[in-house]
A and B are shown apart, each in its own frame.
Chain A
């Protein structure tokens, strides 16, 4: 079934289908699909993907029977269970959780840094069927944990979340994706940081091999705000992590980090994009990948510095370890710089585990497997030891041990 028919057939289940502006926007999106023909060669976002699964899909969505829970277990600490992308409304003097509204959709459709031919984002806008909005009120320091649950098989979830950190607020957000059913989640997070705010965003992805996760985020930072994102991908199914960040006012900072652990036939596509549109901003993009068996990964990173963005510091680093003959890794670290007073750099390495290091450990009586495992742990140790949340670091250690147990 083509996308247009699919859309028309399921229109009544899709958010905002009665809004005229949104409808025109969606018609444009359908035109993009019709004209583009999914030319894999000229569209880097489609590399290594089995397109058929995502374009010829069967639309199915269930409104969750049991509305999700919001728990205020400690002061300033909340845990949210989002079921099929939906979440019940909640309000106190610190945070506010509501459904997403027409205006949020329109707001996002005006963004200009996500490529027009990023089909997954377009599919998300077209088939939108869930999502919520979290507002952190002024000068609050909050911790939130969100568990994302998909209830049934064959669901196609198109979710759009808005997260707004008001002036002076600070948020530590942990999102967990651990699903075992045969479904597809296409999630778009739109994050806004106002003056002096701060967001530490952790994403733990650990789905089974038949669950596909497509996650895109777009963050914009105002004066003196900091956005830090850490992605840990242990999934056995396909995961796409595309994260865009815009530094729109001075002295803001964006850190996009990620580690992925791949094995078997798994594929993962990753992209980070930082756009510097103001002076004195900083950015860091660091991705590390470990690839075993026949796994494949791509990583595109991009730093764009506008002409006005003097005194920019932008760094990129990409590192990959290939553990097997059949694994492959593609990286494209890009710099686009239009201002002269900048410090920007990127580094990229791909290779096996250092043989000399293995030799050193073996000469001290370690088996080859033990040596390999130690070296993999040390490869990502810097990222793991920088996690200041104890609970988080425990969870990740456990998952790492599980991954290492399969390494031979």
Chain B
């Protein structure tokens, strides 16, 4: 590595997390720790029916018997589940505000700092936003327009009250509460998240979006998102995250379930930029997310796109179960890790139906002392005739103290299915750098250009609303270090 790169690396390492600020809002919390009373407290606060409480308690009893999955290439101190608050809601939110003027102005200010003012989004972007601040949905916009089409877009808490039939039918149908310890934990204590139902034949006219934001210290955020696309419908859903700077590790274990029925399509995009910890690896979010989509009907399609730049630990495998014939699963991912960040992310494509297709494009970039792992499973079951998979995972290493790992699992039980997998690991090409420098770009600009080119295949899959933000994020993540 030349001295220039070393210089730029050290300048970067001094850069502080841009979005690190804390909003002081009184929090209402139950006592720390996890037991049946905590769950009853949450259920009571959310005014839930009894069957929901039973469901939570069942999940809790399963969780008690389970151990955390250990196969990921991550190292972190043992999580003390008894030292975490499981519910926090900004005060006075028992009764929901009818419009933005009723919302705590400090909250609005927080969003302004993040560069996504609710007001502006409402008017300009035409995006309906269901904001999760800590655990209670603050404001939901554009609801009226969606209602006209019969689309249900609300918080999961509201859905439990208003649409118990759908919840009973689909909640936990893709990710059973007993799947693994994080899903059981989430099932027991989830507080908020989004619920989307697109009725038969409806193409959702706008990108639905939620901004998750973790605030209060030591509060684990346990969202539960459930999206159901009925026959012939289409929906594109955006999820973005940024968190304020804290020293204590914060636990996040979200569950996201997608269900696409016959001819339906769901596009789910994520930009994740939570606090990754400081340059010594102190603090940062622990992100253990279970995301799973079920292509239940014929010709259905689920597409995951993610840009992962934050979190001290990322443990995330958005996957697709391709059950319906001719269904399609896609996964596009960019994961950038810096300093002491650790990411173990990838996907799982399970081909059950005939003529199912899946495509995986994963790009990992490791800088500093970080570890970046792609872990993916592609399996063709016996009846998946003529199924097809293409996987490409590339890693880029910047600096000699980081690591890039690729761990694919490929399993074929069908002799008409075709699977192709390729992966490569390399550093930034010297010739490309030389070429750019020769044409007058600075070292930083040149590296930025090359890295952006490296990720382009994935970034272009993001919807317009996100593409700009994602590109900004990629350059912020590289800023000072390489470009």
Contacts and interface: CB of A to CB of B under 8 A. Distances in A.
B425 A345 contact: yes
Interface string B415-429: 111111111111100
Nearest to B430: A341
A343 B423 contact: no
Nearest to A340: B397
B422 A340 contact: no
Nearest to B428: A340
Contacts of A343: 424-426
Nearest to B386: A352
B415 A340 contact: no
Contacts, number: 113
Nearest to B70: A42
Nearest to B396: A340
A352 B395 contact: no
Contacts of A329: 411-412
Given A340-B1, A345-B424, A350 B410 contact: yes
Given A340-B402, A350-B419, A330 B425 contact: no
B376 to A, nearest CB: 10
Nearest to B377: A332
Residue with the greatest number of chain B CB neighbours at <10 A, chosen from A324, A334, A349, A350? A350
B421 A348 contact: yes
Contact of B406 (A42, A323, A334, A338): A334
A316 to B, nearest CB: 9
Contact of B409 (A326, A328, A330, A338): A330
B91 to A, nearest CB: 46
Nearest to A344: B425
Contacts of B409: 330, 332
A351 B400 contact: no
Contacts of A71: none
Contacts of A352: 415-418
Contact of A336 (B403, B417, B418, B421): B403
A369 to B, nearest CB: 16
Nearest to B423: A346
A123 interface: no
A364 B1 CA distance: 57
Contact of A335 (B382, B398, B404, B412): B404
A387 interface: no
A322 B414 contact: yes
A185 B323 CA distance: 43
B71 interface: yes
B414 A337 contact: no
Given A42-B71, A345-B423, A333 B408 contact: yes
A307 interface: yes
B405 A347 contact: no
A339 B405 CA distance: 11
Contacts of A42: 71
Interface residues on chain A, size class? 35 or more
Contacts of B382: 325-326
Nearest to A320: B412
A356 to B, nearest CB: 12
Nearest to A317: B422
Contacts of B419: 348-351
Contact of B411 (A307, A324, A328): A328
A310 B397 CA distance: 12
A346 B398 contact: no
B115 to A, nearest CB: 34
A215 B29 CA distance: 60
Residue with the greatest number of chain A CB neighbours at <10 A, chosen from B401, B411, B425? B425
B400 to A, nearest CB: 5
Contact of A337 (B1, B397, B411, B416): B397
Contact of B418 (A323, A331, A346, A351): A351
A350 B423 contact: no
Contact of B415 (A325, A330, A333, A346): A325
A343 B427 CA distance: 8
A323 to B, nearest CB: 6
A322 B415 contact: yes
A367 to B, nearest CB: 20
B166 interface: no
Contacts of A310: 400
Contacts of A328: 411-413
Residue with the greatest number of chain A CB neighbours at <10 A, chosen from B71, B406, B422, B426? B406
Interface string A11-34: 000000000000000000000000
B399 A340 contact: yes
Contacts of A323: 415
Interface string B198-239: 000000000000000000000000000000000000000000
Contacts of A330: 409-412
B427 A350 contact: no
B399 A337 contact: no
B450 to A, nearest CB: 14
Contacts of B417: 350-352
Contacts of A341: 400, 427
B441 interface: no
Interface in A337-375: 337-352
B407 interface: yes
Contact of A350 (B71, B418, B425): B418
A247 interface: no
Nearest to A44: B409
B426 A342 contact: yes
Interface of B: 1, 71, 382, 395, 397-427
Given A328-B412, A335-B406, A351-B418, 8 more contacts: A320-B412, A322-B414, A330-B412, A335-B395, A345-B423, A345-B425, A346-B421, A348-B420
14 contacts: A322-B414, A330-B412, A331-B410, A333-B421, A339-B397, A340-B398, A342-B426, A344-B424, A344-B425, A346-B406, A347-B420, A349-B421, A350-B410, A352-B416
Interface of A: 42, 307, 310, 320, 322-352
Q: Which 9 A-B pairs have the closest CB atoms?
A: A322-B415, A351-B418, A340-B397, A348-B421, A345-B424, A328-B413, A335-B406, A350-B412, A344-B425
